[in-house]
A = this chain, B = another copy of it.
Amino acid sequence: MSKSAWQLLGDYLKDTQLLGSIQSTLYWDQNTSMPIAGSNWRGEQLSLIAKQLHARQSSEQFEILIKEAKSELQNSKEKDDFESQLITDRFRNIDLLEQDFNRQKSLDPQLVVELATAKSEGYMCWQEARKNNDFKSFSPALKKLIALRTEQSNQLCEERSCWETLAQPFEPNLTIDRVSELFEPLQKRLPELIQKAETITNKKSEKWDLAISDQEKLCQILLNDWSRDPANTAIAKSPHPFSITLGPDDYRITTRIVKGQPLSCLLATAHEWGHSLYEQGLPSKSHQWFAWPLGQATSMAVHESQSLFWENRIARSFSFAKSFWHHFENAGAPIHSGDDLWINLNPFTPGLNRVEADELSYGLHIMIRTELEIDLLERGLSVEDLPNEWNKRYLHLLGVSPKNDTEGCLQDVHWSEGMFGYFPSYLLGHLISAQLTKTLEEDLGKIENLIESTEISKILGWLRKNVHHYGRSLDSEELVRKVTGAKLSPTYFLEYLDNKLEKLSTISK
């Protein structure tokens, strides 16, 4: 029997996905095993695969396969061959494929090449500039990236502003107005909460550290408790922790040990495991399905909501500290109660560094970067003025001032690779996480109680059933409305922070 158009499209997608997963394997190896001298050759391997991938994703053959599958689907719909959910899913898959294909196709291949080069040059230039605290040497690369990305947005020709167009691959349907609407209440309230936090006189936690092997052991205990199955998940170390999926049954995370910060490894592990659990909960159905859009993550904000959930709602919770502290004591840490561990897990001090920021000040970092990149792309902020603007806003919102640009506007990697439109996802993830948790608690009872009675599997089961399995069938705002019955709002996140501060101030007295 000859294959249906749908099956032929699936075969094509599967080969594309195989190539994509080979690319991911090269990336994983690069960050976990590769000796440094392997970089050049690895770069050439990655270029080869990227070229093949782009060719497949913008080929005429692919366009025809999509068209034929779509018309086959329309015919079968008329003949009422399928149950309606399957039809809906398939139409959604086709829509997304058309959307992705049109994006790939509308780009001038010359621009694609120039962008790839500018990204890699920008990244190298940024590394040097950051090391030497020399923003000026980075300016030309940043200008070039802004020009190329603006040109890309023009070629994509969407009914959106430039920044919005570039944000779409990370956050479908996001608009600047919506970002403002969601972030404004936070911009007002977070500085107040930070002030309040300063009045809490935390028991000063002593400086302490743990041996690498002990930190690894603690992470193993954590992941065992959190349902890790070594048959389909692997763990390694890398300079920057990440989570990656290499196949439909092959999930990997990395973590890192930071000297003098004995909780960094555990929290990074919790965070990356949250990403991985989302990937593990995506609809797979079959190897083939793994290659379709509906089998993939819907947005970076939703992804981040899941990692932040496990990092902040679980690992930084009071109940977790209560049930886990004795593992730290056994490892030789000066932790002698749940309170001790909890206070250590929740320090609140506004600083200059986004990655190390606490839950309170984190949002302000994101708002500063988001505003700045919109200003750069759409509102005429010149690259030369960036350092001043950065420093001004830090002083205004967080009350701190970078000593230099390395501590300031050179700290994040994103812009050096022309990655504009990504930053809001980090904060949206906090909001989504908080709002989903509210509904989870309505369904299952207080999350603190679930953690205390070590009913982690119930929590995971709820996320699998209510959040993960949608894949790209809903965008992030649709997902939130579907699960919580309400529009996405910053209220829940602020409520959560309020409660946490309250509890911390009680315990610290």
Among A40, A45, A247, max chain B CB count under 10 A is at A247
Supposing A28-B29, A35-B233, A231-B35 touch, asked if A48 and B15 sit within 8 A by C-beta, the answer is yes
A399, B145: Cα distance in complex, Å: 75
- Inter-chain contact A248/B41, CB cutoff 8 Å: yes
Q: Is A234 an interface residue (CB 8 A)?
A: yes
Among B25, B36, B48, B252, point to the contact of A18 (Cβ < 8 A).
Answer: B48
Q: Is A151 an interface residue (CB 8 A)?
A: no
Q: Is A202 an interface residue (CB 8 A)?
A: no
Supposing A41-B247, A232-B35 touch, asked if A26 and B18 sit within 8 A by C-beta, the answer is no
Kindly list chain B residues whose C-beta atoms are within 8 Å of the C-beta of A60: none
Among B41, B45, B232, B246, point to the contact of A249 (Cβ < 8 A).
Answer: B41
- Inter-chain contact B25/A41, CB cutoff 8 Å: no
Distance of A418 from chain B, by nearest CB (Å)? 25
- 0/1 interface trace, chain A 34-64, chain B, CB 8 Å (1 if under): 1111101110110011000000000000000
Distance of A228 from chain B, by nearest CB (Å)? 10
Q: Is A76 an interface residue (CB 8 A)?
A: no
Distance of A47 from chain B, by nearest CB (Å)? 9
- A252 to B, closest residue via Cβ: B33
Q: Is A116 an interface residue (CB 8 A)?
A: no
- Inter-chain contact A234/B25, CB cutoff 8 Å: no
Among B22, B42, B236, point to the contact of A26 (Cβ < 8 A).
Answer: B22
Kindly list chain B residues whose C-beta atoms are within 8 Å of the C-beta of A41: 18, 21, 246-250, 287
- A290 to B, closest residue via Cβ: B41
Kindly list chain B residues whose C-beta atoms are within 8 Å of the C-beta of A36: 231-232
Supposing A40-B249, A247-B38, A250-B38 touch, asked if A45 and B33 sit within 8 A by C-beta, the answer is no
Kindly list chain B residues whose C-beta atoms are within 8 Å of the C-beta of A252: 33, 35
Among B21, B29, B35, point to the contact of A230 (Cβ < 8 A).
Answer: B35
Q: Is A19 an interface residue (CB 8 A)?
A: yes
- 0/1 interface trace, chain A 247-259, chain B, CB 8 Å (1 if under): 1111110000000
A351, B15: Cα distance in complex, Å: 48
Supposing A42-B247, A48-B18 touch, asked if A231 and B37 sit within 8 A by C-beta, the answer is yes
Query: Copies per complex?
Result: 2
Q: Is A227 an interface residue (CB 8 A)?
A: no
Q: How many residues of A contact B (CB 8 A)?
A: 38
- Inter-chain contact A37/B236, CB cutoff 8 Å: no
- Inter-chain contact B35/A19, CB cutoff 8 Å: no
Q: Is A32 an interface residue (CB 8 A)?
A: yes
A38, B232: Cα distance in complex, Å: 7
Kindly list chain B residues whose C-beta atoms are within 8 Å of the C-beta of A45: 18, 21-22, 25, 247
Distance of A287 from chain B, by nearest CB (Å)? 7
Among B14, B25, B42, point to the contact of A29 (Cβ < 8 A).
Answer: B25
Distance of A46 from chain B, by nearest CB (Å)? 9
Kindly list chain B residues whose C-beta atoms are within 8 Å of the C-beta of A42: 247, 250
Among B18, B26, B32, B33, point to the contact of A44 (Cβ < 8 A).
Answer: B18
A33, B233: Cα distance in complex, Å: 10
Distance of A234 from chain B, by nearest CB (Å)? 5
Distance of A176 from chain B, by nearest CB (Å)? 40
Among A45, A231, A232, A248, max chain B CB count under 10 A is at A45
Kindly list chain B residues whose C-beta atoms are within 8 Å of the C-beta of A33: 28-29, 32-33, 234, 236, 252
- 0/1 interface trace, chain A 10-30, chain B, CB 8 Å (1 if under): 000011001101100110110
Among A21, A29, A44, A48, max chain B CB count under 10 A is at A29
Within A79-130, which residues are at the interface with B (CB < 8 Å)? Answer: none
Distance of A246 from chain B, by nearest CB (Å)? 6
Kindly list chain B residues whose C-beta atoms are within 8 Å of the C-beta of A40: 247, 249, 287
Among B18, B250, B287, point to the contact of A35 (Cβ < 8 A).
Answer: B250
A234, B41: Cα distance in complex, Å: 15
- Inter-chain contact A19/B48, CB cutoff 8 Å: yes
A48, B32: Cα distance in complex, Å: 24
Within A143-174, which residues are at the interface with B (CB < 8 Å)? Answer: none
Task: Pick 7 A–B contacts, CB within 8 A, sort by A.
Answer: A15-B48, A18-B44, A35-B232, A38-B247, A41-B246, A42-B247, A42-B250
Tell me the A residues contacting B by CB distance below 8 Å: 14-15, 18-19, 21-22, 25-26, 28-29, 32-38, 40-42, 44-45, 48-49, 230-234, 236, 246-252, 287
